[in-house]
Amino acid sequence: MSGKGDRERIYTNRELSWLQFNERVLEESEDRRVPLFERLRFISIFQSNLDEFFMVRVGSLYDQTLLKEKVLDSKTQMTAPEQLQYIYQNVRKLLPRKAKSYESLMAKLNDQGLEQVPLNSLSAQDFEFLKLYFEKEIAPLTSPQIIDKRQPFPFLKNKEIYVGVRIASKSGAVRLGIISASGHFGRIIYLPSQNGKVRFVLAEDLICLFVEKIFNRHEVLEKVLFRITRNADIDVEDEMVDVDFDYRDAMEELLKKRRKLTPVRLELSGEVSHELTEYLCDHFTLSREQVFVDTCPLDLSFVFALEGKLKGKAELFFSPVAPQIAACIDEKRSMIAQIVEKDILFHYPYHSIKPFISLLNEAANDPEVVSVKITLYRVAKDSKVINALINAAENGKEVSVVVELRARFDEENNIDWSKRLEEAGCHVIYGLPGYKVHSKLLLITRKLGNKIQYITQIGTGNYNEKTAQLYTDLSLMTANPAIGTDASVVFNSLFMGSVVESSTHLLVAPLCFKPRIIGLIDKEIAFAQQGEPAQILLKMNSLTDKVLIDKLIEASRAGVHIKMLVRGICCLKPRVPGSTENIEISSIVGRFLEHSRIFVFGLGERQKIYISSADFMTRNTERRVEVAAPIYDPAIQKEILHLLGIMMKDNVKARVQDMYGIYTYRKNEEEPVNAQEVLYREAYASAEQKKNMPQPPKALIQEKRNPHGFWKRVMRLFHR
């Protein structure tokens, strides 16, 4: 696979594959089966994704163009400039499609009672209302500036919208006036209702409409809304070469620096003159290729604020659903006792995260619990997980927390939480030098007389109550002492500042994950070469690790049947004769973000199943601390295979990748299967069935009490 033709035939460039994923998000806005307002929401998600892509991935490629030595993509051998060219070309194809979808949806929503009022056809009454609003509510809060020799170009914030005006000058040169379109005023301005219709305009459009009133001493030749996107790709380790620093303080300084990094994109809200475009490009040191013209709002985040104005319009939204308490859970019993009895698996968002929060709260108050250890990557703004940890520390438990301050764009939130945890008496560390801690691992240690008992939780997603309702993730809870011992080794290594060098049951990156995965694939290759049935089932967010990709190609050539669900980036093309003909790849993009990682190797009695925090990406397998857990419980194994089977039958939201890397909806003669809807229906059905089951007598569900528990409670009363 050394020739360029072979590489193009088998591999897909990472950045182009990501753009394909975001195109699938945009497709959701075009899908007539999706309710109207939800389709509008998907356009906003598409744009938000694209913003982050430019900040991180395009920013990284831009940095590579500044290096003396060429940096080549390991799979396609494309240079950074070549990749940027492909990105710019593909984005230009997607933007008109986004604008068309936005305009179409707003026209349909207009018929449903929501109107973005066009400013070029205002009625006299609306014009007077907006003029008065502008003069009283917005104009006094603006800070206009004209750029000249005495007024240098101001610093423009990342992704913030500005109104730019070209002002006439005696010399004929471009003179630019700038006003920030955000400030101490709301972005959405509601007009008086007509026939019950919700009518609005955006603040930036209103400022642009009346901008001549601000620059009233000058002749305004043209005006435009624009924003810049800045590079946000900072290498934390390179920035922190001094060993004598406070890591949290250094991260706070790093965040300030990120806000001032180089622009990598300029967006304009319509065509403007060559002179003004050149002026802006010269100032921001951008080429014309980095300028993108959009005809719909430059920032669509306002969409989410409109939802509250459409109450009573249920047909515009997905049917409301609520996470269900897993059927295996008895809410009246101790969570710890139930986990000791058998392993428990939650599948979010179909199952509620509440029992997991109950587990943490129970651990905080259980006299037998001596320590709670956890890794935190992204947590909710008002985190019940954090509150439970603080409660545990205040109750005298040893609480050790690994807070990853380098969780991109969640750094500030994590810095704030780390301070609160430390103030409560928790032992907090901030990950390892050179490695992000991305694992989702919890270890509760109990001392029962002379015995130690571990309660271990391993997940595929963050300890975040909000995303647990939006992302599909798996959470395994077990009292298996061997898994608990491995988890203890992971935490001991982290707090000693090192990585795990060997583990028995858990697969722990960076040293004990990829080699074990390769070994599991090799076993299937060996079975296939002996003429035995061989199978691999994989579900993940992204596939970019070339070593693992090449191993999967080797397995395919050996006759191993491989089925993969890869939601996002996929650098491998399936069904290529002679290489990947035994590989099938599909992607599900729907109401919930597919986020769980599942690895299945083999069939029958030799089948091994893992859930993992890691994707098959080089950053996960080599530069992060990740954990994959084996599934030993037969009932949970069956449950995971069941949900995988449903997802692989999806013919509503699944797209299948062909040998050319093109994704198309899976179409067959089978009954329609929307996997996410099926799994939610099953969760509801299980909860209803559990509700209708006869309840055992109370005496049968009371937990075995600690004989000394009563006297401990009495003693605590005297110490209050």
Active site members: 438
Q: Which residues make Cβ contacts (< 8 Å) with residue 176, sequence separation at least 6? A: 146, 147, 164, 165, 166, 167, 276, 279
Q: Measure the CA–CA gap between 489 and 480, rounded to whole angstroms.
A: 15
Element of type H or E holding 495 = helix 481-495
| DSSP structure class, residue 367 | T
Q: Find the distance separating the first CA and the last CA of the chain, reported in whole Å.
A: 72
Q: Measure the CA–CA gap between 625 and 619, rounded to whole angstroms.
A: 10
Task: Judge contact between 406 and 236, C-beta under 8 A.
Answer: yes
Q: Measure the CA–CA gap between 599 and 628, rounded to whole angstroms.
A: 9
Peptide bond into 634 cis (omega under 30): no
Nearest to 194 by CA among 121, 115, 124, 107: 115
Q: Which amino acid is at 114?
A: L
Q: Measure the CA–CA gap between 23 and 80, rounded to whole angstroms.
A: 22
CA 55 to chain centre: 15
A 10 A CB-CB count for 201 gives 22
Task: Judge contact between 23 and 582, C-beta under 8 A.
Answer: no
Q: Measure the CA–CA gap between 535 and 16, rounded to whole angstroms.
A: 29
Judged on CB neighbours under 10 Å (0-12, 13-18, 19+), 688 is exposed
For residues 627-659, one letter each, b for 16 or more C-beta atoms within 10 angstroms of the residue's C-beta and e for the rest, the string is: bbbbbbbeebbebbbebbebbbebbbbbbbbeb
Q: Measure the CA–CA gap between 364 and 371, rounded to whole angstroms.
A: 9
A 10 A CB-CB count for 410 gives 18
β-pair partners for 351? 324
